Amino acid sequence: MSMEEFHQIFFEEADELIEAMESELLEMVFDADNPDRINNVFRAAHSIKGGSATFGFSEIAETTHVMETLMNCVRDGEIKVTRDLIDLLLSSVDCVKDMLGSAKAGQPADADRAGETKTSLEAFLQAASGDAGDASTGTAEAADPEPAPQDAAPEQPAAAEPVTQPADTGALPVALREYVIDFHPALELFKTGNDPLHILRALRDLGELEVEVDADSLPALEAFEPDNLYLSWKLRLQTESDPDVVLEAFDWVEDVCSIDLQEIEHRDAACDPEPETVAQAPVAPAAESAAGAEAAAPESVARAPARSERKAPPTEPTSIRVGIDKIDMLINLVGELVITQSMLGEMGENIETCDLEKLREGFLQLERHTRELQENVMKIRMVPISNVFNRMPRMVHDLTAKLGKKLDLVMRGEHTELDKTVMERIGDPLVHLVRNAVDHGIETPDVRLAAGKPERGTLELCAYHANGDVVIEIHDDGAGINRDRVLEKARAKGLVAPEHTPSDQEIHQLIFHPGFSTAEAVSDVSGRGVGMDVVKQNILELGGHVDIASEAGRGSTFTIRLPLTLAIVDGQLLRVGGQVYIIPLVSILESIQLQEANLRSIADRSQLYRIRGEYVPVVALTELFNIPVPDTGRTRDQLLVLVESGQGKIGLLVDDLLAQQQVVIKSLESNYRPVAGVSGATILGDGRVALILDIPGLLRMARRQGDFDTAGTLRVSGPRAA
Amino acid sequence: MPHILVVDDSSSMREMVTYTLKSAGHSVKSAPDGAEALKIAGDDAEDFDLVITDINMPVMDGITLIKELRNLKRYTYRPILVLSTESSAETKTAGKTAGATGWIVKPFDPDQLLGVVGKVLPH
C-alpha cells in the first residue's frame, strides 16, 4: 500500500463529505437552524481539513479550515444562518470540489481561486464577528477555534521547528547541555494510562540519563493503594537538546505533575554563554534529529516524498468501494463451492461405485453455486445511483434561482444499484435531461398560476429495477412537449415528409434529433439544440434506450432503461455461413423474411432495402467478413435483421436466427486487437468463440462502403419489435 | 504482539493509521465512532493494549468514549491516545480530564505516529 492508495481513499471520502455538505447546505435554505445540519456541515469541513492536511493538500486544508471556523461560529450561535452564508459556503464547496479535482489529476490547485474563496470566507467571518460586538479583535484569527493547519505544525509534540531549519547549520559543533530535573508525578498518574517509565525512556533517548528514585513517600503496606504512584525522581540528563525538547517528554503529564527543570552551567561556558535562553534553537537542529527525538525527524523527511508524489502523472482512479456484506456473501459462496468441489472430487475417485443420482445432484449444486457466484461477483461492481442523483439538488437549486422558477425536486429509489461504469456514463445525460426539464418543462410561477396549476412545479427523479434493467424516470408536471410546434419545425427542416402524419411517440423521438430545438429563445441553460441527440446516443451506447411520454399542459416523463451491467449482454445468436455471430438484443428493431423485390442496388455493391416507404442500407455480413457461401442462391431464404444505433438503422443479411442468450463479453481489444465492426467476443456453451457485432461500427462501415444517401435513415423509427 | 483499537470516522485516516500500525507489526482493529469502539472494546475476546481515538465523531465522540473506557475495568490504566486536529488547549484539557494518556496532532505522518505509539506501549 502506497501513499497514493491512501490518497485514493481520501479522495473518495472527501467527495462523499463534500456532497453531504452540499446537500445539507441546500436543505438549510428551508431549515436554517437545525443544529444537526449545522453540525454535519461543520464535521464535513473538519474531516476534509484533517484528511487534506494529513495527505499534504494544504490549499484544501486552508480553505476548509476557514469553512470549519465559520461553521463553528454558526454552531455557537455567533453567526446566523442566512442565504448569504449558504451561498458563500456553496461557492466554497465548488472551490473545494475543483481543488479536489486538481489534486486527483495530480495538478496544482487554482491558487487564485482558492485565495479568493478563503478571503471572502474570512471577510464574512470578520464582518460577522464585528456585528457580534467584537470589532476590535474580530479578525479571522480571533474567531478561530484552533490555529490553522500550517500554524499547527510547531505545536506538534515533536516540535517541528528545529527540523525545518536548513540542514547545513547542523554542521556547527553542538554543545552538550546538562539538566537536573525534579519529577514529582501525581498520585493518580496511572489512571490516565501514563507510565513514568515511558517518560524516563523518552529522556534516555535524548542523551545520557542518570536516574535516582525517591521512595520516601511509600506508605506502609496496609495503607498502600496499588493504583497510586508514590515514587518521585531526581534526574540528571546530558543532552544536546533544548530545555523545550526535554520538557516535551512531560508534555502529557505536566498538568498533573510537578516538574522542575534546571540547566547546570556547562563546563565549556564559552560555547554556550546563556544556556537558559531557549531562543538558541538554531544551534541544535542536526543533533536533535540525530539524537532521535523519535517523532521529530520524520516531519520533513516523510513529507517530501508525499509532495513529489502529487506531481507524478495522474493515474486513472480504479478503486471501488464495496459493502462488507457483499464480500461476506462471496466468501460464503466460495465456501459452498469448495464443499461441492470436494464432494465431487470424492465421487470422482470412486467413480465406479458412485451413486449416479448423487453425482447429478452434485453437478446441479455446482451449477447453482457457480451461477450465484457469478451474480454476486457482478454485484461488486454495482453502486447506488444516489452518486448521480446527489448532483441534482444543487443544480436544480441554482437553475431555479437563475430562471425565477419554483420547483420541488423529489427523488426516489436513490439506493437502486447499477454498474459503476454505467453509472459514470449516465451521469451527464441525466443532468442534461433534468436541466432540460427545469428549463423547458417547468413553467414560470405566473404561467403556472394562469394555467390553474400550483405555483411550485414538481420534478420527480425515480430509479428502480425492472426485468433485469435499471429504469430511471424523470417526470415533470410542466408544459409538456408541444406536439404541433415540434411537427411544424420538423417539417420545416425536412425531417418529416409532408404527407406523413407521425404518431406521438415518433414526434417525441424527434427532439433527440441532432440540431433540433424548439425553444423560443436560446438560453444559456439549455436549448442550443445540442445535447439531446448526444443524450440519446450515450444511452444507446450503454445498450439502453429512452422513451418519452408527454401530455400538453400536464408534463413529460422521460424513461431511461439501462442494462444492469456492461459485462453481460442479452444477445441474439445469428448464423452467417458456417459462423455464429451475436448482436445485442436491445439493438434489434425487427427481423423480416427478405423479399427480393424490395432490394435495390445502388452503384456496384451497395444495396438498399425498402420497408414501409423507407430505405435502409443493407450489410451482407458474408461479404463484410469474407465468409465463404455455398452456391445456393445467396438471397434465398435469407433474413434481414433491422438494427438501430444512435446514428441510424441498417439491415443485416443473415442466414438464420438462433437462440437468444446472455453472453459474457470478453474484450477482443485486450486479448487480440481491435477489429472494426466487432465489439467483443464470447465463448459459447460448446466452447466455440463467437464474435459480438458492434452495431454503430457496422453502420459507419456501411456508410463508408456505400456512401449512402442518409436521408432515408433519418426517418423516425417505426414501432419496436425486438 | 500489541493489539490496538483505532477509532476515527474518516475512513482514510482509519486506513492510514491501521496500515501504519500493522506494518509496524501491531495487530489492529478499527471503529468508525465511539459507540462502535465501545462495543468492540467490551468484547472479552479483545484485549487492547492501546486505544487511539479521534475526538470529533458522530454517534459518540472521543471524549465520551474515553470516559466510558476508563469506567471499564480492563481499560482503567490502559493508554488512550487522542488523535485529533483539535490542537487547542481546551481540547487537550478536555481530553486529559476525560482520562486520555496523550495526544497525536493531525496532520502527522506514519513515523510520527509510530514514535508516539512506541512511547506508550509496554516494551
Q: What is the pLDDT of residue A475?
A: 93
> Among partner residues A145, A191, A298, which is closest to B88 by beta-carbon distance?
A145
Q: Closest chain B residue to A156 measured between Cα atoms?
A: B105
Question: Residue A399's closest CA among A282, A525, A284, A570?
Answer: A525
Q: Which DSSP letter does residue A473 get?
A: E
Q: Closest chain B residue to A158 measured between Cα atoms?
A: B112
Annotated active-site residue A184? The verdict is no
**Three-class SS state of A289:** helix
Catalytic member of A68, A288, A443, A644: A68
Contact flag B79-A156 (C-beta cutoff 8 Å): no
Copy the grid coordinates of residue A266: 556547562
pLDDT digits (tens, 9 = 90+) for A553-574: 889 999 998 887 777 778 899 9
Place of cell 472521543: B62
Which A positions 203-262 lie with beta carbon below 8 A of chain B?
A: 227, 251-252, 255-256
Q: What is the pLDDT of residue A506?
A: 79
Copy the grid coordinates of residue A400: 431555479
Annotated active-site residue A68? The verdict is yes
Out of A208-222, A282-296, A327-341, A673-687, pick the least confident. Answer: A282-296
Mutate to test the interface with B, among A40, A58, A156 (most CBs of B within 10 A): A156
Q: What is the pLDDT of residue A669?
A: 76
Q: Which residue has the higher pLDDT, A648 or B58?
A: B58
Question: Residue A622's closest CA among A614, A609, A631?
Answer: A631
Give kind and range of the element (H or E) at residue A553.
Answer: none
Determine the distance in angstroms separating the CA of A66 from the nearest CA of chain B, rounded to an integer.
Answer: 14
**Which amino acid makes up residue A670?**
S
- Is residue A474 over pLDDT 90? yes
Kindly write down the DSSP assignment for every residue of A317-374, as one continuous string: -------HHHHHHHHHHHHHHHHHHHHHHHHHHTTTT--HHHHHHHHHHHHHHHHHHH
pLDDT digits (tens, 9 = 90+) for B26-48: 999 999 999 999 999 888 788 89
Out of A215-229, A268-282, A499-513, A641-655, pick the least confident. Answer: A268-282
Determine the distance in angstroms separating the CA of A167 from the nearest CA of chain B, rounded to an integer.
Answer: 19
For chain B, give the percent of residues with pLDDT over 70. 94
8 A C-beta contact, residue B32 and residue B11: yes
Q: Closest chain B residue to A7 measured between Cα atoms?
A: B12
CA–CA gap between residue A542 and residue A685 (Å, rounded): 25
- Is residue A34 over pLDDT 80? yes
Q: Which residue has the higher pLDDT, A95 or A505?
A: A95
8 A C-beta contact, residue A436 and residue A398: no
Annotated active-site residue A414? The verdict is no
Taking residues A226-244, what's their average pLDDT? 84
Question: For chain B, what is the radius of gyration of the CA atoms?
Answer: 13
ipTM passes above 0.90: no
| Signed CA dihedral, A268, A273, A277, A280: sign only | negative
CA–CA gap between residue A326 and residue A335 (Å, rounded): 14
Question: Residue A471's closest CA among A536, A596, A563, A398?
Answer: A563
Contact flag B106-A53 (C-beta cutoff 8 Å): yes
Taking residues B91-117, what's their average pLDDT? 81
Q: What is the pLDDT of residue B86?
A: 59
* Chain B contact present for A610, CB below 8 A: no
Q: Which DSSP letter does residue B59 get?
A: S
Contact flag A149-B85 (C-beta cutoff 8 Å): yes
> Among partner residues B15, B79, B110, which is closest to A193 by beta-carbon distance?
B79
CA–CA gap between residue B21 and residue B15 (Å, rounded): 10
Determine the distance in angstroms separating the CA of A396 from the nearest CA of chain B, rounded to an integer.
Answer: 29
Taking residues A576-601, what's their average pLDDT? 86
Residues of A in contact with B74 (CB under 8 A): none
* Chain A contact present for B64, CB below 8 A: no
Q: Is the pTM of this model over 0.90?
A: no
Contact flag A146-B87 (C-beta cutoff 8 Å): yes
CA–CA gap between residue A345 and residue A350 (Å, rounded): 9
CA–CA gap between residue A281 and residue A242 (Å, rounded): 7
- Is residue B123 over pLDDT 70? no
pLDDT digits (tens, 9 = 90+) for A517-550: 555 434 444 444 446 777 888 888 887 888 888 8
Q: Give every CB contact of residue A338 below 8 A, 6+ residues apart in sequence.
A: none
Q: Which residue has the higher pLDDT, A211 or A667?
A: A211
Which A positions 23-82 lie with beta carbon below 8 A of chain B?
A: 43, 46-47, 49-51, 53-56, 61
Highest mean pLDDT: which range of A140-149, A279-288, A630-639, A652-661: A652-661
Q: Give every CB contact of residue B14 below 8 A, 6+ residues apart in sequence.
A: B6, B8, B30, B32
> Among partner residues A6, A10, A46, which is closest to B85 by beta-carbon distance?
A46
Q: What is the pLDDT of residue A170?
A: 43
Which A positions 345-364 lie with beta carbon below 8 A of chain B?
A: none
Determine the distance in angstroms separating the CA of B83 from the nearest CA of chain A, rounded to an integer.
Answer: 10
